[in-house]
Amino acid sequence: MEDFDGKVVVITGGATGIGFAFARRFGAEGAKVVIAARRQERIDDAVAELRAAGVDAAGTTADVTSYEQVEALADFAWDQHGRVDVIVNNAGVGQDFASVIDVPMETVRSVIDINLFGVWHGCQVFGRRFIEQGTPAAIYNVGSENSLFNGFPLAGSYVASKHAVLALTESLAEEVPDFIDVSLICPGFVSTELGPPGSMDTAMDTDRYLEIAWPQIVAGELFVVSHAFNMERIEVRHSALAQAFATYAPRYDGDDEFDVRTFFAALNALGEQPQS
Catalytic residues: 158
CA distance 76 to 61: 10
CA distance 116 to 159: 11
CB-CB contact of 190 with 144 (8 Å): no
Q: How many helices (H) and strands (E) does the chain have?
A: 9, 7
Q: Quick one: which of 177, 178, 174, 142 has its CA closest to 161? A: 142
Which CA distances in Å does 43 have to 12, 34, 69?
A: 11, 10, 16
Report the chain's terminal Cα–Cα distance, integer Å: 37
Q: Quick one: which of 50, 46, 81 has its CA closest to 61? A: 46
